[in-house]
Structure 1
Amino acid sequence: MANARVDRLRMMLAREGLDAVVLSHPHDVRYATGYHSILERWTQMEPFAAAIVFADPARPAILVIPEANLGIVAVLNRDGPHCTFDEIRSFDMLNFCEVSRYVDPDRNGGQLAEDAMAIAGAIRGTCQPDIAAAITAALADHGMAGKRIGFDEHRVSAAVAPKVPHDYRDALDFMMRVRVVKTGEEIERYRAVGRMADRVIAHAGSLLHEGADWNGVQAGICDFMVRNGVIPVDEGAMLFGGSYDGDDFIPDLFRTPGKRALRRGDIVILETQGVLDGFWIDINRTAVIGRPSADYQRLHDILRDAFLMMVDRLRPGVSTNSLPAIGYEHLKAKGVPAPEKLLVVAHGIGLMPLEIPLAYPAAGLAGVKQGFVMEEDMLISLDSLFFGAKLGPCHMENVYAITAGAPEPMYAAPLELIVADHAPADRASEPA
Structure 2
Amino acid sequence: MQRIERLRGLMADDHMDAVVLTTPHNVLYSTGYTSVLEKWQLHEPLAAAVVPLDPEKPVMLFLPEANLALLMVQEEAGNPDRADEIRVFDMINFCEVMRSDDPAAAASLIGQESVKVYGERVRGNCEPDIIESIRTALIDHQLDSGTIGFDDLRVMAHLGRSGLNFNGVDALETLIRSRIVKTEPELEAFRRVGRVADKSLAAAADALRPGVSWNEVQNAVADTMVRLEAVPVDEGAMLFGGTFRDAFIPELFRTRDDRPLDTGQVVILETQGVCEGFWIDINRTAVIGEPTAEYQRLHDVLRDAFELMVAELQPGAWTGGLPKIAHDHLRDNGIPVPEKLLVLAHGIGHMTLEFPFDFPAQGRARAQGFQLEENMVISLDCLYYGGELGPCHMENVYIITKDGPENTYSTPLKLMGPR
In which range does the TM-score fall when normalised by the shorter chain?
over 0.9
Q: Do 1:383 and 1:398's aligned partners in 2 also have CA atoms closer than 8 Å?
A: yes
* 1:371 counterpart residue number: 369
* 2:351 counterpart residue number: 352
* 1:174 counterpart residue number: 174
* 2:188 counterpart residue number: 188
Q: Which amino acid aligns with 2:78?
A: G
Higher deviation after alignment, 250-259 or 268-277 = 250-259
Deviation string 1:127-174 (CA, Å, 9 cap, x unpaired) is 111000000001011112321110001111122123221011101111
Distance change in 2, residues 1:358/1:274 (3 Å): same
* 1:82 counterpart residue number: 80
**Structure 1 residue 222 displacement after superposition:** 1.3
**Structure 1 residue 81 displacement after superposition:** 5.0
1:27-426 residue pairs with structure 2 within 5 A? 27-80=25-78, 82-120=80-118, 121-161=120-160, 162-243=162-243, 245-246=245-246, 248-368=247-367, 370-421=368-419
CA distance in 2: counterparts of 1:118 and 1:335, whole angstroms: 69
Q: Which amino acid aligns with 2:111?
A: A
Q: Do 2:319 and 2:370's aligned partners in 1 also have CA atoms closer than 8 Å?
A: yes
CA distance in 2: counterparts of 1:277 and 1:79, whole angstroms: 11
Q: Do 1:241 and 1:271's aligned partners in 2 also have CA atoms closer than 8 Å?
A: no
Q: What TM-score does the superposition give when structure 1 sets the normalisation length? A: 0.94
Deviation string 1:380-414 (CA, Å, 9 cap, x unpaired) is 00000000111111000000000112100011110
Deviation string 1:228-279 (CA, Å, 9 cap, x unpaired) is 2111111121111242643x43222313222421111100000010011110
Q: Which amino acid aligns with 1:83?
A: D
SS of 1:48's equivalent in the other structure is coil
CA distance in 2: counterparts of 1:115 and 1:175, whole angstroms: 33
CA distance in 2: counterparts of 1:160 and 1:285, whole angstroms: 48
Q: Which amino acid aligns with 1:239?
A: L
**Structure 1 residue 20 displacement after superposition:** 0.5
**Structure 1 residue 196 displacement after superposition:** 0.2
SS of 1:139's equivalent in the other structure is helix
Q: Which runs of 4+ in 1 moved over 4 A?
A: none
> Can you give the 5+ residue segments of structure 2 that lack an aligned partner in the other structure?
none
Q: Which amino acid aligns with 1:49?
A: A
CA distance in 2: counterparts of 1:350 and 1:90, whole angstroms: 28
CA distance in 2: counterparts of 1:235 and 1:349, whole angstroms: 21
Q: Do 1:381 and 1:399's aligned partners in 2 also have CA atoms closer than 8 Å?
A: yes
Higher deviation after alignment, 249-258 or 304-313 = 249-258
Deviation string 1:70-106 (CA, Å, 9 cap, x unpaired) is 1111111114352111111111000111111112112
SS of 1:390's equivalent in the other structure is coil
Q: Which amino acid aligns with 2:178?
A: V
Higher deviation after alignment, 144-153 or 346-355 = 144-153
Q: Do 1:347 and 1:355's aligned partners in 2 also have CA atoms closer than 8 Å?
A: yes
Q: Do 2:241 and 2:257's aligned partners in 1 also have CA atoms closer than 8 Å?
A: no
SS of 2:417's equivalent in the other structure is strand
Q: Do 1:245 and 1:259's aligned partners in 2 also have CA atoms closer than 8 Å?
A: no
**Structure 1 residue 347 displacement after superposition:** 0.2
Identity %: 52
Q: Do 1:242 and 1:269's aligned partners in 2 also have CA atoms closer than 8 Å?
A: no
Q: Do 1:338 and 1:388's aligned partners in 2 also have CA atoms closer than 8 Å?
A: yes
SS of 1:350's equivalent in the other structure is coil
Aligned length: 417
> Can you give the 5+ residue segments of structure 1 that lack an aligned partner in the other structure?
422-432
**Structure 1 residue 217 displacement after superposition:** 1.1
SS of 2:284's equivalent in the other structure is strand
Q: Which amino acid aligns with 2:24?
A: P
Q: Do 1:90 and 1:134's aligned partners in 2 also have CA atoms closer than 8 Å?
A: yes
CA distance in 1: counterparts of 2:76 and 2:243, whole angstroms: 44
Q: Which amino acid aligns with 2:15?
A: G
Higher deviation after alignment, 391-400 or 248-257 = 248-257
Deviation string 1:209-237 (CA, Å, 9 cap, x unpaired) is 11112111111111211222111111121
Q: What TM-score does the superposition give when structure 2 sets the normalisation length? A: 0.97
What is the aligned-residue RMSD (CA, Å)?
Answer: 1.2
CA distance in 2: counterparts of 1:147 and 1:98, whole angstroms: 35
Q: Which amino acid aligns with 1:235?
A: E
SS of 2:279's equivalent in the other structure is strand
CA distance in 2: counterparts of 1:91 and 1:389, whole angstroms: 57
